[in-house]
Structure 1
Amino acid sequence: MGVASTNRGVRHGAAADAHVVELSKLMMSRAPQLGRTMADLLCRDIDAYRDGTVVTKDQVAESCAANVTFIFDSLTGGAEVDVSPAERTGTQRAVAGVPLPAVMTAYRIGFRFMWEETIAVARAAGIPTDAILDATARIFFAQETFTQAMASAYRQQLTAQIIEREEERSALVEALLAHRITDKQSLWEAADLLRLPTSGPYAVVAAELPAIGRLGLPAIENKLSARDIRSAWRLLPDLQVGIVHLRGPEMIDALVEVLRHAATARVGISPTFRDLAATSDGLRLARVAVTGKPTGDSLVSLFDDTPLAVAAVSAPEAMAKIRSQVLSRLDELPAEERTTLLDTFRAWVEAGGSANGTAAEIFCHPNTVRHRLRRIEELTARSLSRPRDLAELCLAFEVERRLP
């Protein structure tokens, strides 16, 4: 990808005197040889150029000769000078992956060599001292212009590459979420490109968007990386979604902690899974966690992957029908009474069916618990002592808890 300059050249103002023009011509005639000599020097001293695999010596020599030509062509100060060779060098080095500091170091070493050669040629040609000083000032100015053009093109190309890589990563995340990548080799390649380990555990995180153009988890990839948690993210129309790698089950607590500090809207976390092929299932459960009924004050909800919870969300339409059939009469109650009965039943299940344990949990008398449970039996026409009836009640209450 090329980089177009908004200013294709530079002017130095007043024309140089005849001695400076003479020096310029002498140096331009030596440009090809100087370029090769400078390339030998740079390939010896710059690690990124040394083995010729990233940038060949011929490419370095071509760039050095262009630099020399630019500098001494601009020395006369009369004509506008094209900076496109500098832009081309910057773009090529960015594409090749040469770090900008290494390129700047090469420019510094090359400029010093060129300046020393210029002084030697000027003295040998009998150029007056005043003309040498004038030429030196013009050389410094031209070199600065050339270097700035190169660095600007380098940064523009690097920015374009970063955007392109992020677009590729985002597309890969979407392919995994949509279950479009399934074979092992492709999954491993996808993990490598996303900078994720090739084996889990993983989890999918889904965050609501608080408003159009705003992320529910700003800068989350960097925040997780600071805790040694790798992730890759994709912005969907309604959610910000990430695939997160957890080095072990214990890392889920660190993930929740980071998400709680970062969240600006509701966030859901799927159960962990071992294979990237299960990412689409993880997204479905993360969606349930983020869109279901909230529990507590935290914006972050972790999906409980118990068999009952998974069953409750596996077929939303069928589950909603079961909930309606079982709990229809509870739905007719005043909201406060209905909530009290629902909370009592859940506490009773968590307490293993103990009225005393439930009473201690919800701060009431055991007889009050028993009375509320009998009320549930009456309203649902199901007995807590019959296994089939109890299973239906547990499933209906789980659906009530999970689905909006």
Structure 2
Amino acid sequence: MSHATRRASELALDETTVTALRAALKTTADEIVQAIIDEVPPYANALSGRMGGTIRRAVRTTLGHYLDLASGNATGGDAGDAAYELGRGEVRDGRSMDALLSAYRVGARVAWRCLAAGAVPAGLPAAEVAKFAELTFAYIDELSAASAAGHADELAAQGRAHERHLEHLARDLLADATSDVLRASAQRAGWQPPASLTAVLLPAAQARPAYRTLAPNTLVLDDLPDALGVLLVPDADRSRLLRQLHNRSAVVGPARPWTRASASYARAVRARSVSAEIRDTEDHLPELILSADVDALADLRARALAPLQTLPAATARRLEETLRAWLLHQGRRNEIAAALFVHPQTVRYRMSQLRELFPELTSPHRVLELTLAVGLRVGGRVPVHDRVRA
């Protein structure tokens, strides 16, 4: 039994008093609505016109139920349900609970003034008037509590729905959905598209904690395969983003137009597969290019370095190292010698061997092939299963 119902059982207004109070219901409801309009700014326009008429009728109904309660002829259930729905409606109309609670306080004051003005002339004894006041404010407190519960539940429900829409948008972005699908998904989520998105790939357990430190319209998923999560960061300041993620196992893809966020994600995924050491994909573009087709790179190495296969393994390895240094240092003998920790004459001797093995060593096409074959290492090793006995 609610507090208001308990107080009503003690009060039980007589029929004469209730009849007198019912006669003033319409006037009381109109005064309550006008006072709310005057004193609670968020309702200044909301209670005018057709909406104002609807609210006045609702107030009259609530007052009528209150009088039924005061006369011992009703329980608080129906009014509580209506108050709960009113709280939910306030969320949908974009108003805070503060506004509604203010309206309840104003309504309680005006209702008590008007009802007391009718109860006293009707002959209600002073002791009963005090009980009547307590019932009035207990009733308003219960309506306020019911509305607050409805407001909180609606906020939670909308929050969950909003979260689902944002997750759906993130999945559409990763799936490289069409621009029309992405715009519709963004609109459903109430998400304002940025100019660009940057994908950040990291362990699933780190996704939500990292997400809370980034821009509020960052998108997050933490249920990707291999226990991974992804953040899609809008219009990221790359240096700042890398600093924010410095203590996390994150791989940061490139910034891409927001409808092409899947390209940023794909590069981050590829970088993670190439080396656990990569954090900023922009610093490892050559490795990522050559790792795009591992078999093609292996075939290129096998073909370009085929002349070394006829040599003993140790000799082939030394000549490949010399060839790499020659290509990277553009033939400058002293720099090659310094890089290999050998005498320049040793470099000269080895290069004479290489020129015999590779007659077209200086042709542009051969230089390109050899540079790709020997010039790049990922994490200190060639990024393929080396098929050459080198």
TM-score range, shorter chain: 0.7 to 0.9
Which ranges in structure 1 are unaligned for 5 or more consecutive residues? 1-6, 210-214, 331-337
Q: Does 1:271 align with 2:254?
A: yes
Residue in 2 that maps onto 1:294 = 276
| Counterpart Cα distance in 2 of 1:119 and 1:343 | 101
| Aligned partners of 1:292 and 1:403 also within 8 Å | no
Kindly state the Cα deviation for residue 118 of structure 1 after the two structures are TM-superposed.
2.1
How many residues get paired? 361
Find the counterpart in structure 2 of residue 89 from structure 1. 86
Change (3 A) 1:358 1:34: farther
- SS in structure 2 at match of 1:37: helix
Shift of 1:254: 1.0
Separation in 2, partners of 1:346, 1:29: 101
My pick for the range that moved more, 113-122 or 167-176, is 113-122
The residue number in structure 2 matching 1:46 is 40
Counterpart residue type for residue 218 of structure 1: R
Q: Determine if contact 1:326/1:392 at 8 Å carries over to the other structure.
A: no
- Relative distance call for 1:324 and 1:22 in structure 2 (3 A) is farther
Residue of structure 1 equivalent to 2:199: 204
The 1-side partners of 2:297 and 2:71 are apart by 84
Task: Report the CA distance shift for 1:29/1:325 in structure 2 as closer, same or farther (over 3 A).
Answer: farther
1:216-270 Cα offsets, whole Å, 9 max, x none, are 2224333113xxx7411233432322221125xxx10111122234x3xx32111
| Partners of 1:179 and 1:280 within 8 A in 2 | yes
Matched, 1:195 2:191: yes
Provide the residue aligned with 2:233 in structure 1.
Answer: 244
Distance in 2 separating the partners of 1:345 and 1:252: 37
Distance 1:53 1:14 in 2: 30
SS at match of 1:207: strand
Separation in 1, partners of 2:28, 2:378: 79
Taking structure 1 as reference, are residues 22 and 172 closer, same or farther at Cα in structure 2, changes over 3 Å only? farther
Q: 1:23 to 1:92 in 2, by over 3 A?
A: farther
Counterparts of 1:342 and 1:66, CA distance in 2: 93
Match of 1:34 in 2: 28
Q: Which moved more, 1:385-394 or 1:109-118?
A: 385-394
Residue of structure 2 in register with 1:57 after alignment: 52
Aligned counterparts of 2:321 and 2:13: Cα–Cα separation in 1: 96
The residue number in structure 1 matching 2:246 is: 260
Q: Is the 8 A contact 1:25 1:72 kept in 2?
A: no
User: In the alignment, is the contact (CA less than 8 A) between 1:63 and 1:89 conserved in 2?
Assistant: no
- Structure 2 CA distance for partners of 1:353 and 1:107, relative to 1, 3 Å: farther
Q: Corresponding residue for 1:235?
A: 222
Range with bigger deviation, 51-60 or 97-106: 51-60
If the length of structure 2 is used for normalisation, what is the TM-score? 0.74
Q: Take 1:155 and 1:120, find their aligned partners in 2: how far apart are those partners?
A: 36
C-alpha deviation, 1:21, in angstroms: 6.6
Establish whether residue 303 from structure 1 lines up as the match of residue 297 from structure 2: no
Q: Give me the whole-angstrom Cα distance separating, in 2, the residues matched to 1:31 and 1:320.
A: 89
| CA distance 1:191–1:79, shift in 2 (3 Å) | closer
Q: What amino acid is the match of 1:154? A: H
Partner residue of 2:313? none
Deviations 1:308-362 (A, max 9, x none): 34422434554566578889999xxxxxxx9xx99999999888887877999x9
SS in 2 for 1:272: strand
Cα 1:242–1:354, aligned 2, differ >3 Å: closer, same or farther? Answer: farther
Residue 167 of structure 1 corresponds to which residue in structure 2? 164
Asked whether the equivalents of residues 11 and 80 of structure 1 are also in contact (C-alpha less than 8 Å), the reply is yes
CA contact (8 A) 1:268 1:301 kept: yes
1:69 to 60, 64, 69: 64
Q: 1:352 to 1:34 in 2, by over 3 A?
A: farther
- CA gap of 1:19–1:160, structure 2 versus 1, over 3 A, is closer
Corresponding residue number in structure 2 for 1:333: none
Per-residue Cα deviation, 1:266-288 (whole angstroms, up to 9, x for no partner) = 32111122x22321111111112
Q: Distance in 1 between matches of 2:321 and 2:26?
A: 85
User: CA distance change for structure 1 residues 27 and 313 in 2, over 3 Å: closer, same or farther?
Assistant: farther
Identify, as 1 or 2, the structure richer in helix: 2
What residue identity is the alignment partner of 1:242? L
- The 1:159–1:92 alpha-carbon spacing in structure 2 relative to 1, beyond 3 Å, is same
Whether the aligned pair in 2 keeps the contact of 1:293 and 1:402 (CA below 8 Å) is no
SS at match of 1:102: helix
Question: TM-score with structure 1 length normalisation?
Answer: 0.71
Q: Taking structure 1 as reference, are residues 301 and 344 closer, same or farther at Cα in structure 2, changes over 3 Å only?
A: farther
Distance of aligned partners of 1:317 and 1:46 in 2 relative to their CA distance in 1, 3 Å threshold: farther
Structure with the greater alpha carbon radius of gyration:
2
What is the CA–CA distance in structure 1 between the aligned matches of 2:221 and 2:332, rounded to whole Å?
Answer: 46
Partner of 1:106: 103
Q: Deviations over 1:349-378 (max 9, x none)?
A: 888887877999x9x94659x88xx79x99
Q: Distance in 2 between matches of 1:343 and 1:77?
A: 99
Contact 1:21–1:76 (CA under 8 A) maintained in structure 2: yes
Identity value in percent: 18
Q: Structure 2 counterpart of 1:311, which letter?
A: I
Aligned to 2:370: 390
| Structure 1 equivalent of residue 5 of structure 2 | 11
- The correspondence for 1:80, drawn from 75, 82, 96, is 75
Residues 88 and 150 in structure 1, CA contact (< 8 A), matched pair in contact too? yes
Deviation, 1:12, is 1.1
